[in-house]
Chains A and B, each alone.
Chain A
Amino acid sequence: MTADTSAQPARRITARTIQVGLGIIWLADGLLQLQPKMFGTAFASGVILPSAHGQPAIISSVITHTAHLVGTQPVLTDLVFAGIQLLIGAGLLIRETVKPALVLSFVWALGVWSLGEGFGGLFNGTALPLTGAPGAALLYLAIGLLVWPRRVPRDAHAPAAAEGPLGEGGGVALWALVWCGFGLLWLLPASSNSGALSGALKSAAAGEPGWLAHLQLSVAHSIGSGGGSVALVTALLSFVVGVGPILFRRNAIFLVIGVAMALDFWVLGQAFGQIFSGMATDPDTGPLLVLLALAVYRAGVPAGAAAAAQALVPERASSAFTTRAGSLVS
């Protein structure tokens, strides 16, 4: 038996790695829910209730009722909320309980997205990708679906998403959906109005530590009233990042650009999920977009595809190789 030692298999990211990453983020969510401020009525009035503003009547009514319900028993509800999220996180870290943990996470994420995040502001015209639209909870759901344990891929370079029910194609389609969705949201008035971007950055800076607020306000100042052109450029970049992995199998460059943009949104627009405010419920979309990128990252092109690509090399190069080989033989 011979082994080709020159072709070292690339280190692929497995679905298990993504499950562990997701579990750590869920644990962080549970711990954030245990912050002292969360045990007061501020959680209901300052986190849940504001997402009811500007919503269609029925959505606004449901969110308002939920906020009142949570406000009547803040300690109990907070403990239950924290417990569920810690349970999901621990379940994802233990291999045997991944499936029940994911099922629970799907239910919880949908509840959080609708009642806690007000559907990411999609229905009240406040959906800015910069500040976390269309909602981190949707990304928990999407990533969980991608890495639902199902099969072991034959391809040694396959992305983590290839192990899940949607497969690699589904992972890439989901990535495209998310980023093209960002592109569309960047073109809406909430993002593209001249002063919208700098206004959002100034709002995000309120209550943040000095160094972070200084950075956010500096960027807001330099953008000024030119937010429209920034939004247009960012929208175009978002479309490129979303469509790129569909067109090219080597998707790393698009994922890197996407991750860089996600980190920009996370730091400047989301202030690390407002983690320094004492009222953060989750780290927001930044880390989840990084996790999504890792889930669809392909470590290389399979040998068959590489050989097929080699077969497409122009005839001149092929004949030069033959000539050289022939001279070596003779």
Chain B
Amino acid sequence: MTAVAVAVAVAVAVAVPVAVAVAVAVPVAVAVTCRSFLRKSLEGPRMAPPPWLRRTRPGGFHSDRYQISYH
């Protein structure tokens, strides 16, 4: 085998798996992107928590009558 033939064989041996990997990865990436986009679209806006459950500081909740704390 000449040096050119060896270079061609090595180039093909590297290029073929790369091409197959790209051919598989691109549709998979598109499918995953579409899936996550659809999931986010169908999920709708997240509901805000009611004011009386709103956290005033880490570990505690504000109340008119008393302060609840888990500490």
Contact = CB atoms under 8 A, between A and B. Distances in A.
A81 to B, nearest CB: 28
Contacts of A223: 1, 5, 9
Interface of B: 1, 4-5, 8-9, 12-14, 16-17, 20-21
Interface of A is mostly: helix
5 contacts: A215-B16, A224-B1, A224-B5, A268-B12, A268-B16
Given A218-B8, A219-B9, A267-B20, A226 B14 contact: no
Nearest to A219: B12
B51 to A, nearest CB: 30
B17 A264 contact: yes
Query: How extensive is the interface on chain A, given as a class?
Result: 10 to 19
Contacts of B9: 219, 222-223, 230
A322 interface: no
A205 to B, nearest CB: 14
B16 A263 contact: yes
B12 A215 contact: yes
Contacts of A219: 8-9, 12
Contact of B5 (A222, A261, A267): A222
Interface in A226-281: 226, 229-230, 259-261, 263-264, 266-268
